[in-house]
Structure 1
Amino acid sequence: MGKLVALVLLGVGLSLVGEMFLAFRERMNASREVEPVEPENCRLIEELENGSEDIDILPGGLAFISSGLKYPGLQNFAPDEPGKIFLMDLNEQNPRAQALEISGGFDKELFNPHGISIFIDKDHTVYLYVVNHPHMKSTVEIFKFEEQQRSLVYLKTIKHELLKSPKEVKVVAKGFRSANGITVSADQKYVYAADIAAKNIHIMEKHDNWDLTQLKVIQLGTLVDNLTVDPATGDILAGCHPNLMKLLNYNPEDPPGSEVLRIQNVLSEKPRVSTVYANNGSVLQGTSVASVYRGKILIGTVFHKTLYCEL
């Protein structure tokens, strides 16, 4: 009788594990493929061969790109090279990427850049806040951009188990499975946050005290990474992973695809979602971000190449 009960329990357990595995595969879009969509006049950026995980563009058209991310479980084509911040001037007819020199005593050999954000102060000084993973830990590095020299000056490392600010840390929004890319609207009134595991974007109103009120959740059916805002239209651009399992279990014979979505009229009752770019890995693998400037789009990846197209 005991053996029978054990076998029954084993069967139930295996059944539950099977259901959990199938549910996990469904959440990760394990079998999803995309129909190719390509804008006009696309070209790969020669200097960016080892990823462009995040991209932030100044109002004047200078694009900052974090490259060379090394993270457990992710492919890396240059494991012995330190990460870099690249700069592209999108006003040029055929812009190229150049790696920025970093002064100020920063340990460049341990640079493992991830997300990147820009802050411009009242004197128009540009600061870069870069998520870094030295020794697979997490810090935020602060740099000042020297436009004349086209270089970065290292200022400070924020290092804390909660990356706590000097004043306070407080919870302003809940209900995420895995909050990832975060950005704000052009008028600074709304915060957009991607939930990669739930395949959606949260639209929240920002108050003066930085409390957030959730207005809506836009379901996208794909795993959303970083978000940017089109400064000309206010649309959201989302770099997405159509098949995260392929990203996490890299196979060059069956590589992960890429997908970029545009979300228009985000505050309306029926936001419009359209595909800007889609590829099953033959050109671009593992898209993480897309950013636009004056009819051009830069599409970045976690560890692969970078694409520059006309819209």
Structure 2
Amino acid sequence: MGRLLALSLLGIALALLGERFLALRNRLKASREVESVDLPNCHLIKGIGLYSLSCVATEFYVTRAQELAGEEAGAEDIDILPNGLAFFSVGLKCPSLHSFAPDKPGGILMMDLNEENPRALELRISRGFNLALFNPHGISTFIDSDDTVYLFVVNHPEFKNTVEIFKFEEEENSLLHLKTIKHELLPRFIYVADILAHEIHVLEKHPNMNLTQLKVLKLDTLVDNLSIDPSSGDVLVGCHPNGQKLFVYDPKNPPSSEVLRIQNILSEKPTVTTVYANNGSVLQGSSVASVYDKKLLIGTLYHRALYCEL
């Protein structure tokens, strides 16, 4: 009787797991293909596929021991300062995701969008920070009253969760590591992407730091990182229209890329338009899009990054 009960429970558990797997597969939108929406004046960013330090290290800074030998490292998240300096988090590793450079640690790159032909350069990180375990996944910037720039980078050392705080030292093209934050509950922002539910949650932040949900915007794609167009307030979204291809990588049928622009997100009927879409022939697995002065940057989980002049 006990054995029969155990087999019955096992059967029920397998059935539940099967149901959950089918639900997850449906949420990943494995079958949706995209029609290309090209932008003029685009080119892949130099320095993303092959990034290394361009300056001689001093005693205070650590250097990259190896170059990436031409392998794509991705640009999972991008944040742009009001002065046109863009920061990229690169080299994300995840057990369920494909990686073109699985043995290379992550890094932070910078690109000056005011230059005529901008190029991404890796920022040096101060000695004492464990660069070998740097696995950046998301980046935000903050400028204080003294115009000092701080970077808040979500990190997954050994696939755990931390937030690393850096001070940007522009004259040195470097980052001074200030603090590692470890906490079970990390802060949420006003716009929150629910990737598997294909939703964006709009939250109101109150003076006491409490959040109230205002609305939920449903989209027919997997939504990844969100950014705000500073000139219009529009929300730009890096998306995965066929997410299953991210986890079952096939170079002959790679994951697509999609960038959406959401106008008037607080209105009853926000306007959602496709800014860029590609079937993977140029860009695979778009995770973020950010704009500055009619210049658009599109990053990916593990592939390349695109620079467009709008």
TM-score norm. by structure 2 comes to 0.85
* 2:3 equivalent in structure 1: none
More displaced stretch, 284-293 vs 136-145: 136-145
Q: For residues 132 and 205 of structure 1, what CA distance do their matches in structure 2 show?
A: 26
CA contact (8 A) 1:139 1:163 kept: no
Residue 117 (str. 1) matches residue 140 (str. 2): yes
Q: Tell me: CA distance 1:128–1:31, structure 2 relative to 1, closer, same or farther (3 Å).
A: same
Q: For residues 203 and 76 of structure 2, what CA distance do their matches in structure 1 show?
A: 25
* 2:194 equivalent in structure 1: 195
The Cα shift of 1:157 comes to 1.4
Q: Which of 178, 181, 185 in structure 2 is aligned with 1:158?
A: 181
Q: Which runs of 4+ in 1 moved over 6 A?
A: 9-18
CA contact (8 A) 1:258 1:279 kept: yes
List alignment gaps of at least 5 residues for structure 1. 1-8, 170-181, 184-190
* 1:86 equivalent in structure 2: 109
Residue 135 (str. 1) matches residue 134 (str. 2): no
Q: Tell me: CA distance 1:22–1:154, structure 2 relative to 1, closer, same or farther (3 Å).
A: closer
* 1:4 equivalent in structure 2: none
Q: Percent identity?
A: 66
More displaced stretch, 104-113 vs 60-69: 104-113
The Cα shift of 1:19 comes to 5.6
Alignment of 1:1-311 (within 5 A): 20-49=20-49, 50-160=73-183, 162=184, 183=189, 191-311=190-310
Q: For residues 16 and 96 of structure 2, what CA distance do their matches in structure 1 show?
A: 26
* 1:186 equivalent in structure 2: none
* 1:173 equivalent in structure 2: none
Q: For residues 157 and 238 of structure 1, what CA distance do their matches in structure 2 show?
A: 28
Look up the SS of the partner of 1:148 in the other structure. Answer: helix
The Cα shift of 1:59 comes to 0.6
Deviations along 1:80-118, whole A, 9 cap, x unmatched?
A: 221110000011111100000111421222211111111
Q: For residues 19 and 88 of structure 2, what CA distance do their matches in structure 1 show?
A: 40
CA contact (8 A) 1:300 1:306 kept: yes
Look up the SS of the partner of 1:217 in the other structure. Answer: strand
Q: Tell me: CA distance 1:30–1:126, structure 2 relative to 1, closer, same or farther (3 Å).
A: same
Q: Tell me: CA distance 1:18–1:69, structure 2 relative to 1, closer, same or farther (3 Å).
A: closer
The Cα shift of 1:16 comes to 7.2
Q: For residues 51 and 11 of structure 1, what CA distance do their matches in structure 2 show?
A: 41
Look up the SS of the partner of 1:26 in the other structure. Answer: helix
* Amino acid across the alignment from 1:89: D
The Cα shift of 1:10 comes to 11
List alignment gaps of at least 5 residues for structure 2. 1-8, 50-72
The Cα shift of 1:11 comes to 10
Deviations along 1:165-224, whole A, 9 cap, x unmatched?
A: xxxx8xxxxxxxxxxxx65xxxxxxx1111111101111222111212222111111000
Aligned residues: 283
Q: Tell me: CA distance 1:163–1:107, structure 2 relative to 1, closer, same or farther (3 Å).
A: farther
TM-score norm. by structure 1 comes to 0.85
* Amino acid across the alignment from 1:248: F
Q: Tell me: CA distance 1:19–1:156, structure 2 relative to 1, closer, same or farther (3 Å).
A: closer
CA contact (8 A) 1:247 1:286 kept: yes
Computed over aligned residues only, the root mean square deviation of the Cα atoms, in angstroms, reads 2.4
CA contact (8 A) 1:199 1:219 kept: yes
